[in-house]
Amino acid sequence: MAADSRALMIDGAIRLLAQRGLQGASFTEVLAATGAPRGSIYHHFPGGKDELVAAAITSMGARTRATLDTVAGSPPVEVAGFFLGLWRELLVRSQFTAGCSVLAVTVATDSADLLGTAAGVFRDWREALTSLLERSGAQPGAAAGFAALLIASSEGAVVMSRASQSLEPFDVVAAQLLAQAAALPRA
């Protein structure tokens, strides 16, 4: 039961970070969203809110990484399309109310520890995408550069779509990225 409360709070924090940002993911908000018992907060996260937020973005990052592994061996355009599809689906499912919880923490925190955790998640995604692209035949340098471009561009496209409450900005950026993925130099 204790592990369930911890997991429940982490999942709730991921959702709140994606929808309301760092300021909207207080312990009170997490408890209200999850129904977890108040006493479990400091039992599971004695380091306070930063510990919960770090656990949430680490968990979200690991889940995304594991999901990316499902397209191992696919051509670069399919790898890119899959990654973009994750973000597009989030926009559609949330009706433009959610974005990336890692980005939300990055732009709102002044904690060096949380910035380091967020940087680690982005680095992990970049390494995973680079590896997938290289295994599909893309040149190593081109794969690494495109992986960074894919992450940065998709994050920006999500923000633009949330602001405009439309998929149009996301789809424009996605089309450009898919064209670039199809044209990546081969090893």
pLDDT at 159: 98
Q: Which alpha helices (DSSP H) does the chain contain, by range?
A: 2-20, 27-34, 40-44, 49-68, 76-93, 101-108, 112-135, 140-164, 168-182
In this prediction the pTM is 0.94
> Domain boundaries in the chain?
2-182
CA distance 112 to 170: 30
CA distance 183 to 167: 24
Residues ≥6 apart with Cβ < 8 Å to 27: 41, 49, 52
Q: Is CATH 1.10.357.10 correct for 2-182?
A: yes
pLDDT at 36: 87
Q: Buried b vs exposed e over 135-173: b needs ≥16 C-beta within 10 Å?
A: ebebeeebbbbbbebbbebbbebbbebbeeeeeebbeeb
pLDDT at 1: 46
Per-residue pLDDT of the chain in tens (187 residues, 90 and over written 9): 455 889 999 999 999 999 999 999 988 999 999 988 888 888 899 999 999 999 999 999 999 999 999 999 999 999 999 999 999 999 999 999 999 999 999 999 999 999 999 999 999 999 999 999 999 999 999 999 999 999 999 999 999 999 999 999 999 999 999 999 999 999 8
